[in-house]
């Protein structure tokens, strides 16, 4: 691309899914669109250095969404959860708002895990996966699923006063390493 066709580095803010999701967009709106999915406790701006480079090199548009509860997006409704698979709805909502039947997903860390879940469940929605620090979802053997679910249900319903307390940092680390 010549210098006259280069896209600026300043992103354009977007509001998607009836204002529930915030996003940043780089590139022309008529260019092929990639969705960028950030990591845990991060936001769409984490792509602010990479996106302009890719846009200029590949002639694409990148829309980086803020997952629910991150950046400028709304929090999940009361009583809802922030389970990993719930973020797949954010991706599908963004795709719908942008008129994308299928998308290339550029994803980092938690976003990579979310994109892998979406690609496994709805492969027709995902053209390509580009994963940065993508480890995928944790899994256990099928026979251990009920006990894992039991632990999760009990932990979620435990009153705050019954939360574990540790006498020192070493005990807390040991409990965490042991899965407690």
Q: In sequence order, what DSSP letters do the residues of 70-110 get, joined into one string? A: STTSPPPPTT----GGGHHHHHHHHHHHHT-SSEEEEEETH
Structure tokens, 92: 């599908």
Residues 54, 41: Cα–Cα separation, whole Å: 24
SS3 61: strand
The active-site residue, picked from 109, 115, 147, 171, is 109
The question of whether 147 is a catalytic residue gets the answer no
Active site residues: 109
């Amino acid at each position: 691309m010549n210098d006259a066709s280069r896209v600026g580095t300043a992103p354009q803010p977007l509001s998607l899914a009836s204002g529930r999701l915030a996003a940043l967009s780089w590139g022309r709106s008529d260019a092929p669109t990639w969705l960028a999915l950030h990591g845990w406790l991060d936001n769409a701006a984490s792509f602010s250095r990479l996106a302009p480079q890719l846009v200029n090199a590949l002639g694409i548009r990148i829309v980086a969404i803020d997952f629910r509860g991150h950046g400028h997006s709304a929090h999940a409704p009361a009583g809802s959860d922030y389970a990993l698979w719930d973020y797949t709805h954010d991706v599908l909502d963004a795709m719908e708002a942008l008129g994308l039947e299928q998308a290339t997903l550029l994803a980092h860390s938690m976003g990579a895990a979310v994109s892998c879940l979406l690609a496994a469940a709805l492969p027709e929605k995902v053209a390509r996966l580009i994963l940065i620090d993508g480890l995928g979802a944790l899994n256990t053997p099928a026979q251990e699923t009920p006990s894992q679910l039991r632990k999760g249900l009990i932990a979620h319903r435990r009153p705050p006063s019954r939360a574990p307390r540790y006498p020192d940092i070493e005990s807390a680390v040991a409990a965490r390493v042991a899965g407690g």
